[in-house]
Amino acid sequence: MGVIQNVLAVIVVLGLLITFHEYGHFWVARRCGVKVLRFSVGFGKPIWSRYDRHGTEFAVAAIPLGGYVKMLDEREASVAPEELDQAFNRKSVWQRIAIVVAGPLANFLLAIVAYWLLFVVGTSTVVPVIGSVMPGSPADQGGLQSGQEIVAVQGESVHSWDDINLKLVAAIGASGELRVSALDEEASEAREYRLPVDDWLVRQDPPQPLTSLGVNPWRPPYPAVLGQVLEGEAAAQAGLQVGDEILEVNGEPVDDWMHFVDMVRASPGETLSLKVMRDDRPLTIELTPGRNEIGDGVAIGYIGAGAEPVEWPERYRREIRYGPLAAVGQSLARTGEMSLLTLDAIRKMFVGLISPSNLSGPITIARVAGDSARTGLESFIGFLAYLSISLGILNLLPIPVLDGGHLAYYLIEAVRGKPVSERAQALGLRIGLALVGGLMMMALYFDLMRL
């Protein structure tokens, strides 16, 4: 069932993103007087299609992992003399630039609308209160303490752990000090703490900002009670069931859920003897955690189970909501922030500050899409917005075969006053295909390694 949900979620996500992207090209092409021959969602043989009064075929194809807008163009096929004025290649360079840019801009617009919706409806989060600080860690050296609420990172205000992680990830590669402002309990004014860092999170795979700082978020006591058991995983194979309470592991008492998680993670492939309470009856169950390689020969254990949800105290819960007008500014700011973060991540990957293994392909996208869909509509819309931004930015990279490559050609044409030669474009196409194909294969490889 989980695989089916993941597949359905990624089809919905990619279908929406691709439809919006291609509609951007389509809408501007029509406004520029270009005849659109086909608007296709998906590749391959159409499984449904219809024609409108302009002669455009709207189609849904069998392979739902892409899409395209096919325009009238003399470079692709002969054009009747009476339709030459509707050919893409006959339009001015600025019209062609507008058509090319419209697809990525549609993705940014979709992200803005999605974030606006989240800000208007309201998002639920927890107050970023520190639960504990690891001795000797940067947080400990900087003076942060348990019970403090983090209110700003690098001088920018934060309202949730997600905000904090985004600010910390944006500082990858920093050396010197990270500035963190925190509010003591019952205090009215925050204090700034300076945390020493050196090559912050460089090549960490994956980046774990809070763990690297030595900060553990505050959580309510989580009893080691199973709230979820995934089919086919180690927990289910051992006979564990939802509602089971883990009392002991190899004779050692289990304090709470995180204590149990630590025991499992430290025991990949090792058989553990569990004392379990089920329906007021103690049971002994043998459990062998799976082995998950996380790089450099290091492995952690996993069992495919989740904790039973617990209620957070009201004082640790926060609702973030804005009025329709204020939400416009917030959604624009969030889209801009995520765009800059994505661009910066690409730059840092090229210069070696971020490991290429953080690249995500279709398998990881499917898993994250499925997980966010199961978590709730709020998470799903947030993931949709971020993926839409990523798609917009990636398409604007100056790589031939992408929108950004065509944009680069047209900008050169606008400056020179004449088009880039067909020979140069053909060479660029081959280089672009090799680059994109290589990146796709690399992303797929890292996807399979994560499995």
Q: Which of 22, 57, 233, 378 is catalytic?
A: 22
- Burial status of residue 404 (CB atoms within 10 A of its CB: 0-12, 13-18, 19 or more): buried
Q: Tell the residue number behind the tokens 């700011």, with chain if given.
A: 333
- Phi, psi (5° rounding) for residue 309? -60, 145
- What interhelical angle do 362-375 and 2-31 show, nearest 10? 100
- Phi, psi (5° rounding) for residue 252? -95, 125
**67 vs 65: CA distance, rounded Å:** 7
- Tell me if residue 243 falls in helix, strand or coil: coil
- Burial status of residue 232 (CB atoms within 10 A of its CB: 0-12, 13-18, 19 or more): exposed
Contact 75, 29 (CB under 8 A): no
Whether residue 22 lies in the annotated active site: yes
Q: Which amino acid is at 386?
A: Y
Task: Determine how β-strand 298-302 pairs with β-strand 281-287.
Answer: unpaired
First to last CA, the chain: 17
**401 vs 430: CA distance, rounded Å:** 9
- Phi, psi (5° rounding) for residue 317? -105, 150
- The closest of 203, 204, 178, 181 to 192, measured between CA atoms, is 181
Structure tokens at 169: 């990830």
Alpha-carbon distances, residue 227 vs 126, 308, 334, 370 (angstroms): 20, 4, 34, 18
Alpha-carbon distances, residue 20 vs 116, 282, 284, 389 (angstroms): 17, 56, 54, 12
Point out the residues that are catalytic. 22
